[in-house]
């Protein structure tokens, strides 16, 4: 509940660097809006929409159950995949299961991702997937969040070995994600060697878990509040190292940011904070309407860029300037 309340009060940050990208308009696209295919090519993850609801809530009683039900029905009505929040609490206390199970109950045929931290064992991964008949498992990496959390973990050894063991043994695909501090080229290379199916770059510039956790502690760790790889840069970092499915998240709020994310090499985009705010402050029907608008806006912009599919966007030119251009230069990425 603290996370939800502080996520809403601290809001979405700025600084994911999407503003440093400008599209190059194509006046002869030779394409109609109806020809645009929004279905992403994501291998063993069969997604119908390039937009998904990223991991947020679960556990925490009736209120979380109600929000998860709203999010699950929205996913059902719009064809989006949905990730639940970390299921560790429900593995430890079965009374917490209902707020996760409601997601499958409301959306029996939809694509649902389980979620656990990198401390999870293979047995826990299997139980989490079974709990909601999940189609994939997200494993989150959240070192900075844990370090900022007064009661958080302080030892992060052995995570890659556990991820590899789970990826090689679980019967559903494994997605590894950050929680808003970004995945680097070096980390993505390690994950590529650990047989993961997908990486969610989850960069800096949206929900800020250092800010959220600092709200819960007397001595603030200010240095972590501006920590992390901006989302646009994180997508590029991951895509250079990893040939599998790449997800983009971290401060994505509109279709324009999504098109930029796809242009940089992402296959689908996840929204957490923005959907939570809409669900809680504006309600279910407005949330569904906004997702339909996102789909419509994507098709409009893709038409103007001459891209008939999400994959085609990778071949569209764009101009990168400002901080993102400097970042790429200094990192040696062209
Ligand atoms: C999150 N996020 C998250 N991620 C995860 O893997 N497991 C979790 O349990 C949670 N919990 C959670 C709660 C709340 C209230 C929020 C807003 C977010 C992180 C989320 O999936 C995402 O990676 C980041 O929030 C960045 O995306 P946005 O919010 O900027 O779109």
85 lines ligand 1 (CB under 6 A): yes
| DSSP H or E run through 151 | none
Query: Rounded to whole angstroms, what are the CA distances from 115 to 37, 83, 88, 178, 217?
Result: 29, 7, 8, 12, 26
Does the global pTM surpass 0.95? yes
Could you report the predicted ipTM of this complex, rounded to two decimals? 0.99
212 lines ligand 1 (CB under 6 A): no
- Summarised one tens digit per residue, pLDDT across range 141-193 is 999 999 999 899 999 999 999 999 999 999 999 999 999 999 999 999 999 99
User: Among the atoms of ligand 1, which is closest to the Cα of residue 276?
Assistant: 17
CB atoms within 10 A of CB 20: 20
Q: Which of 273, 278, 281 to mutate to test the pocket of ligand 1 (most atoms within 8 A of CB)?
A: 273
User: Among the atoms of ligand 1, which is closest to the Cα of residue 270?
Assistant: 31
Q: Whose CA is nearest to atom 4 of ligand 1?
A: 55
> Per 3-state DSSP, what percentage of the chain is helix, strand, and coil (rounded to 5)?
50, 15, 40
230 lines ligand 1 (CB under 6 A): no
3 lines ligand 1 (CB under 6 A): yes
- Summarised one tens digit per residue, pLDDT across range 281-316 is 999 999 999 999 999 999 999 999 999 999 999 999
């Amino acid at each position: 509940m603290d996370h939800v309340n502080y996520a809403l009060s601290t809001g979405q940050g700025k600084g994911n660097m999407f503003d440093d990208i400008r599209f190059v308009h194509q006046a002869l696209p030779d394409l109609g809006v109806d020809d645009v295919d929004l279905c992403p090519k994501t291998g063993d993850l069969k997604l119908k929409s390039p937009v998904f609801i990223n991991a947020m809530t679960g556990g925490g009683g009736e209120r979380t159950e109600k929000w998860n039900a709203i999010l699950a029905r929205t996913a059902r009505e719009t064809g989006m995949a949905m990730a639940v929040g970390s299921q560790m609490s429900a593995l430890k206390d079965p009374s917490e299961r209902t707020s996760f199970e409601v997601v499958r109950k409301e959306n029996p045929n939809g694509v649902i991702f389980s979620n656990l931290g990198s401390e999870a064992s293979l047995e826990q991964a299997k139980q989490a997937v079974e709990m909601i008949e999940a189609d994939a498992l997200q494993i989150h990496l959240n070192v900075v969040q844990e370090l900022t959390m007064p009661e958080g973990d302080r030892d992060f050894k052995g995570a890659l070995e556990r991820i590899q063991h789970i990826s090689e043994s679980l019967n559903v695909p494994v997605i590894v994600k950050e929680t808003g501090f970004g995945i680097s080229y070096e980390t993505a290379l390690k994950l590529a060697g650990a047989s993961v199916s997908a990486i969610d770059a989850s960069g800096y510039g949206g929900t800020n878990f250092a800010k959220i956790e600092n709200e819960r502690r007397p001595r603030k760790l200010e240095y972590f509040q501006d920590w992390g790889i901006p989302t646009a840069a994180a997508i590029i970092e991951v895509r250079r190292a990893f040939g599998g499915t790449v997800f983009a998240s971290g401060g994505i709020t509109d279709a324009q940011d999504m098109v930029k994310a796809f242009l940089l090499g992402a296959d689908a985009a996840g929204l957490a904070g923005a959907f939570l705010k809409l669900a809680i402050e504006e309600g279910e029907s407005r949330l569904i309407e906004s997702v339909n608008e996102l789909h419509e806006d994507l098709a409009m912009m893709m038409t103007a860029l001459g891209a008939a599919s999400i994959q085609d966007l990778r071949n569209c030119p764009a101009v990168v300037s400002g901080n993102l251009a400097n970042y790429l230069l200094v990192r040696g990425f062209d």
